[in-house]
Structure 1
Amino acid sequence: MGRMGLDWVTPYDTAALLWFLVLWVGYTLYTDHTPARHRTISSAISRRRTLWLREAGHRDLRMIDTAILGNLITGVGFFASTTILVIGGLMAMMGVTAQVRTALSSLPLAGAASEAALEAKIAFLLAIFIYAFFKFAWAFRLANYCSITVGCLPASAHADSERSRAISQAAAVLSIRSGHHFNRGLRAYFFALGALGWLVHPWLFALVSTGVVIVLYRREFNSQAVIELRRLEETESRSD
C-alpha cells in the first residue's frame, strides 16, 4: 500500500473512531432533533432572541439592539478567524510529521504510530476544523443578515403593524439560525479536543471524547445558566 494506505489501522483505532462518531452524531441527534431539544440552553436562548427582537420593534432608539448585534457578530467573527489559524497550523503539521511523531513519542501514554497513521489523524482533525469554519462563516453571514433586517424595522409607532411583526419574526429566525450554526461550530471544537487524544493513543481518544459528551450534556441541560433561564420563563409565564 501507499504511504497513506490503511495498513496502519488497528482494531483499537477503528473502535475508538467509531465510538467518537457515534458520540458526536448521537449527541447531535438527541440535542437538536428530539423532544429533548426544548430543554436545552440553546432552545431557551432562541426564545430570548425572539422576545428581544419583538421588543426591538417597540423602541425608537435602537442603540441597545445594535450593540447586541455587534457583539454577536464580533464573537462569531473571532471564532471564524481563529479557526483559519488552526487549519493553517494543522496543514503545517502535515509537512513535519517526523518531528511531530518524535515529540509525541516522549509522552507517557503514546503508542507507536507510523508517519502514515499520524498524517491520517492530523487530516481527521483538519476535517473537523474545516467543518467548524464553514459553520462559523455561515453563522457570521446570518448575523449580518439579521442586522440588516433589524435596520428595516419601522418606527415604534408602527410596532403593532403586520409589517413590523413580520420583520421582527424574520430577524428572530435569522438570529436563531446564526446561533444554531455557531453552536455547531463550537461543538466541533469540543469534539476536536477528543480527537486530539487520538494523536497519543486510541483509548485516550475514546475516553476524552466520552468526557466531552458528559461536559456538553451537563452544560446544555443541567447547568446553573439553563436553570436560571427556566426559572425566568416560569416567572414570566405567571406574570402574564
Structure 2
Amino acid sequence: MMPGLTYADLAALAWFALCAGGYSFATRHGLLAAKGMVRAINQQRARWMANMAARENRMVDVQILATLSRGNAFFASTAIFVTGALAALFGNAEELHTLANKVPFLRKTTLFMWQFKIIFLMGVFVMAFFKFAWAFRLSHYTAIMIGATPIASGENREECESHAVNVATLASLVGYHANAGLRAYYYGIAALGWFIHPAVFMLAMLWITAVLYRREYHSRAYRAISAGTL
C-alpha cells in the first residue's frame, strides 16, 4: 500500500468513483436517462434545429451557438489556470505539508498522500479541460452544419429535416461534454474536502450529487424547460 494511504482514503476514492461515475451512467444510460434536464434540453435542441432549417436567415442561430461556445472556452481556460496553480502547489508540497500538519482541524497525513491529493485534483481539472475544449470544438462543427443546412422547400423537405436532426444530435454532444466538464468542476470542489478528512470528502461528494440531482430533475428550471416536451 502507498505510504500514508489508509482504508478511509480508499473508501473515499471508491465513493468518488461511485458518485461521479454512477451518477453520470444513471443519467445517460440508466434509470434517470428517461427524463431530466438533459433529455428535456435535447428535445428543445431538436425543436431549435427544426425551426432553424425552416429559416432562410440563420444568423440568430449562429449567434446563439457562439454565445454558448464562449462559455465553454472560458471554463476550458479556467481549468488550465487551476491546473497550473495546483502544479505550483505540488512544487511546494513539502512546505505546505509541514504547515498543514500544524493546523488542528486538518487530518495529519504523509507528504506522499499530500502530493497524491494534489495530483488527483489536477487529474479532475485536466479532464474538465478536455471536456470543455472538445465541447468548444464541437460547437464549431455544429456551426458548420448549420451553414450547410439547405433551406427547406417542398422538394428537399425530407433531406432538410434529416440534416436538422443530425445538427441537433451534434449540438446535444456539445451539451453532453460541457455538462461533464461542469460536473468535474463540482466534484473537484468536493475533493478539496479530502485535505481535511476523507469523511468530509465523502460527505461533500454526496452533497454535490444531491444538488445535481435536484437541479436536473426537480428544479423550477427543469419544469420550465420540460413544459410541453414530456
User: Residues 79-90 of structure 1 correspond to what in structure 2 (within 5 A)?
Assistant: 79-90=75-86
Query: Of the candidates 2, 5, 8, which is equivalent to residue 9 of structure 1?
Result: 5
Partner of 2:124: 128
Q: Distance in 1 between matches of 2:188 and 2:155?
A: 45
Q: Distance in 2 between matches of 1:117 and 1:202?
A: 12
1:69 lines up with 2:65 in the alignment: yes
Q: Describe the shift of the 1:22–1:159 C-alpha distance in structure 2 as closer, same or farther (beyond 3 A).
A: farther
Shift of 1:196: 0.9
Q: Describe the shift of the 1:159–1:48 C-alpha distance in structure 2 as closer, same or farther (beyond 3 A).
A: farther
User: Residues 197-208 of structure 1 correspond to what in structure 2 (within 5 A)?
Assistant: 197-208=193-204
Q: Distance in 2 between matches of 1:159 and 1:186?
A: 42
Q: Which TM-score applies when normalising by structure 1?
A: 0.89
1:55 lines up with 2:48 in the alignment: no
Query: How many percent identity over aligned positions?
Result: 36
Q: Distance in 1 between matches of 2:21 and 2:119?
A: 19
After superposing on structure 2, the runs of 4+ consecutive aligned residues of structure 1 that deviate more than 6 Å are: none
Deviations 1:16-52 (A, max 9, x none): 2211211112111211111421211011001111110
Matching residue's letter, 2:30: T
1:146 lines up with 2:142 in the alignment: yes
Partner of 1:231: 227
Query: Of the candidates 95, 114, 118, which is equivalent to residue 114 of structure 2?
Result: 118
Partner of 2:213: 217
Q: Is the 8 A contact 1:8 1:116 kept in 2?
A: yes
Q: Describe the shift of the 1:159–1:125 C-alpha distance in structure 2 as closer, same or farther (beyond 3 A).
A: farther
Q: Is the 8 A contact 2:43 2:229 kept in 1?
A: no
Partner of 1:189: 185
1:100 lines up with 2:100 in the alignment: no
Matching residue's letter, 1:209: M
Determine helix, strand or coil for the equivalent of 1:8.
coil
Q: Which TM-score applies when normalising by structure 2?
A: 0.93
CA RMSD of superposed structures (Å): 1.8
Q: Distance in 2 between matches of 1:122 and 1:159?
A: 60
Q: May I ask how many residue pairs the two structures share in their alignment?
A: 230
Q: Describe the shift of the 1:79–1:27 C-alpha distance in structure 2 as closer, same or farther (beyond 3 A).
A: same
Q: Is the 8 A contact 2:69 2:139 kept in 1?
A: yes
1:38 lines up with 2:44 in the alignment: no
Partner of 1:167: 163
Q: Distance in 2 between matches of 1:142 and 1:47?
A: 19
Q: Distance in 2 between matches of 1:158 and 1:96?
A: 67
Shift of 1:136: 1.0
Shift of 1:169: 1.5
